[in-house]
Homo-oligomer: A and B are copies of this chain.
């Protein structure tokens, strides 16, 4: 896996789902939905608010257990009972709610669940954390994203601005994802500069051969990055389109229901 730039359409999807259903009381969040992610590609998922995009990626990443349907990773059926299991399989997710511990510091949040221990006896016997190292890496990752306004790396996450918080979450996923990276609206709260950096980061990750699922409402960004676009509507996959064959207007018309796609594309 070392293809650069363009997506490679192998026949076998790396992550896929069949016939997923998830109901919350009277609300049907996912309604018999299929889903496919090919190796090395950037797959954008677009759709109205409440269409069920977040629910879908939660179902494939173990954060929610679907009522019906199956999930496959590299062709093998998987049943994730918790996000930890998905992570152990190399699936890293930035949830829309960010999944941060508000009272803990930036570095603590970034390394949550995979803290770095000191070297030598302090680390192996006394299991002492190497706070300095974690802080340095955290600072570095944030600088990579252009988040230079964070004045104090030991600030609690709850005291960060909305965009800073999102930046921390994205940096975390980018740093640790190994097989699939899922980003649910990663640039929603970000400024122009920071958004740009995230887009660069996404391209960079793909160039390392790791496929990415990108949920976004920003059409220019989606059309700029995506290899394929999954259009979600009313809990279902409406169609998958190739951004080179359609315009942004078409995509928006599909997702809002103004226009019907002729056939399932791509």
Contact = CB atoms under 8 A, between A and B. Distances in A.
What's the interface size class on A, roughly? Answer: 35 or more
Interface stretch (A121-129, A131-139, A183-191, A201-209): A183-191
A260 to B, nearest CB: 17
Given A49-B147, A49-B167, A159 B191 contact: no
Interface string A143-159: 00001111110010001
A84 interface: no
Interface string A32-62: 0000000000000001111101100000000
B193 A252 contact: yes
B27 A155 contact: yes
A164 B167 CA distance: 22
Nearest to A163: B49
Copies held by the complex: 2
A162 interface: yes
Main secondary structure of the interface of A (DSSP, over half): loop
A14 to B, nearest CB: 26
Given A25-B152, A96-B162, A190-B217, 19 more contacts: A26-B152, A27-B159, A48-B148, A48-B149, A48-B191, A48-B193, A49-B161, A49-B162, A50-B147, A50-B150, A54-B161, A96-B189, A97-B162, A162-B188, A185-B189, A188-B189, A191-B217, A193-B256, A195-B217
Interface of A: 24-28, 47-51, 53-54, 96-97, 147-152, 155, 159-164, 167, 185, 188-195, 217, 219, 234, 252, 255-256
